Chains A and B, each alone.
Chain A
């Protein structure tokens, strides 16, 4: 294990622990409004201060961690499923199937991703699950291409020919012989994708289109903080840092795995 991996994993591990034990760690109910304590700066009672409705920022950030990690995980799983499926089909069969799928990928890549996202959010109800789904549905194209390229090169290898000669079915060849060998680069892409998905969720929430109140997410805390940036710096600094560190963690891990 190199240092990058270690560093990345430790960041993510801490975050996962915080997310899992959020109910035990958080000193307050993240949705408890307290109008007597609006926008109090970090102090002993509220270690990260409170927001414009007097809710404890630390507690909200903790629960926000849950949202962010979930989004990363689910969105990337969705894009992995689609990407691996289409990529391996295209790579393995080649010809028309390949052409069809890859042109579809090209079309999807032509859309500016963010506008695609906004359009889909407008159609579906903005629940957390839908947001994760949408992010996954708009980010599988890279993985599909990667998988296709890997499959293309692997399927010419001797052990695949051997399996074919033994009379193994197509499905078995793909799942048993090709995919396991194509996986490492895909894994790297997936880990890097998690960071991306978290950023996308934050951006959507920042625009008010992502996670809806009263659920806290780093993005919507940031959005609220924007209006009071001159008198409530803690509302932008802490969630901003949290996003930065998390994405950094995933990227370090991804970079480490790549080597």
Chain B
């Protein structure tokens, strides 16, 4: 054994072991399209300004364990394959990219100490940090970056992230710590794309290695992987030789509890230190003295949106007018009130409303069932059967809305939509399936409509989601959206650097996508994390709270868990 076996002095409460009734509802899980650097942002987000006085007065203190609860279990810990937020969360602690976002959402060096961009924007030179060690003590060098790049563009690698890297014209290693990357044409998200976590070249020689790695990764990050008990928990431990300095918190335990109410009970029993609350929990169930004494709550708009994705290969949804009708038939204000209890915003396109890419001129359609019925009639759905549902060619308008288990909000959302669509004559069957199975159904395109959310990166580039070339298995355009104009604009949007110019393209994209309705955009929920009050050093910023996780600490007298040799 490499690591001495460690025992928790105060063992985690028993009840932690009893969670795995995979039976009910939970947190927001997002499929995530994002830079890896922004990865934790999904769960660790920018909070409302909570008073955090006196915390900076003291110096950090080593020790203790943070127990994070989540409804999702990671699919894989191979960074270039990790597409769901649970996988990314762990990957983000174990690995580093070349660059990352700081608290003000500026790109700063991570494994790269600095970089240069040529004047024409076509060449990028990274100067890598020296002396960074993989968690098996081997030095990190340029070959690791090359290796990661080659894997990303490898034809047999099923990664949703290849798009950004296929733009690279030439990748050359100048010396062990310098690499030069050139692009055939200007590519705006280039620098940010190198936030992709870097994998160790010396450990991954065969398919077998990858298989092992997906459950036992080794990275350069602040935490090293210790253990993964399937369906139960993942244990990480502080990496002593981490180049930024060892993180204060000794252990990070990621607990998988696929049920939001069980998560909440476990938090209340103090078996968990950190979870994302549901709006109901935030607004009604944590307004007690017990919670204000023992926990801190945060609230801020999340960087993602919830939508219904229509399988555009399905004859029912091929017709744009049908999708537009459905957009009119769903009352978003009602959803925000009913599902989010007001803790969120409407959203009319593929960007979050406070991003520069979002065109405020595109107003979300007001609820208008008459207009919906008119549009449906124009599309040929003009007769109703006895049950009150629309009929065309002897077929009832009926479809299955698929969503993931564990997410109480999505279930409620689906029920409200079901009710509203029934009023215009569309029968909706709700199907709720377990997360892994859900992703599988999406990968195989065996769905009619999905209710899902995207977590977004800071760059508005949504090429991977809407470009018509990204429809292969495991890629993110799973609704098979194709619009040549949008394709072109998506390409143009990545070619220019100035925000002013890009804005024009993205506003157009927003308008076109809104008109096409490949998705019915529903809302941007607020992120509602709650953290045990003993953790200090949490500094809310526009970039959330996760960016300085390694600086979080717990005062010695308040530590709950001690490691024993």
Contacts and interface: CB of A to CB of B under 8 A. Distances in A.
A52 B429 contact: no
A223 B285 contact: no
A33 B280 contact: no
A221 to B, nearest CB: 13
**Which of A53, A229, A231 has the largest count of B CB atoms less than 10 A from its CB?**
A53
Given A33-B419, A35-B337, A214-B418, A227 B25 contact: yes
B261 A227 contact: yes
B412 A52 contact: yes
B260 A31 contact: no
A31 B419 contact: yes
A212 B414 CA distance: 12
**Chain B, interface size: which category?**
20 to 34
Given A212-B429, A212-B430, A228 B415 contact: no
B237 interface: no
A167 interface: no
B408 interface: yes
B168 interface: no
**Which of A31, A32, A227, A229 has the largest count of B CB atoms less than 10 A from its CB?**
A227
Given A53-B338, A208-B24, A214-B419, A227 B430 contact: no
B58 interface: no
Contacts of B416: 33, 35, 53
Interface in A196-248: 207-208, 212-214, 223, 226-231
Contact of B415 (A39, A53, A229, A230): A53
Q: Is the interface of B mostly helix, strand, loop or mixed?
A: helix
Contacts of A229: 261
A226 B24 contact: yes
B343 to A, nearest CB: 13
Contacts of B139: none
Interface string B418-437: 11000000000110100000
A231 B341 CA distance: 15
A63 to B, nearest CB: 15
B284 interface: yes
Contacts of B405: 208
B223 to A, nearest CB: 32
A190 B421 CA distance: 41
A213 B415 contact: yes
A210 to B, nearest CB: 12
Nearest to B25: A227
Contacts of A39: 280, 284
B383 interface: no
Contacts of B338: 33, 35, 38, 53-54
Given A52-B280, A52-B412, A231-B284, A35 B334 contact: yes
B107 interface: no
Contacts of A213: 411, 414-415, 418, 430
B353 to A, nearest CB: 21
B366 interface: no
A54 B416 CA distance: 11
B289 to A, nearest CB: 14
A214 B401 CA distance: 13
Interface in A53-70: 53-54
Nearest to A31: B419
Interface string A96-129: 0000000000000000000000000000000000
Nearest to A213: B415
Contact of B285 (A35, A38, A231): A231
A209 to B, nearest CB: 9
Given A52-B280, A227-B408, A231-B280, 4 more contacts: A35-B334, A53-B338, A53-B416, A228-B284
9 contacts: A39-B284, A207-B23, A213-B430, A214-B415, A214-B418, A226-B24, A227-B408, A228-B261, A228-B285
Instruction: Return the 4 tightest CB-CB contacts between A and B, nearest first.
Output: A35-B338, A227-B261, A35-B337, A231-B284
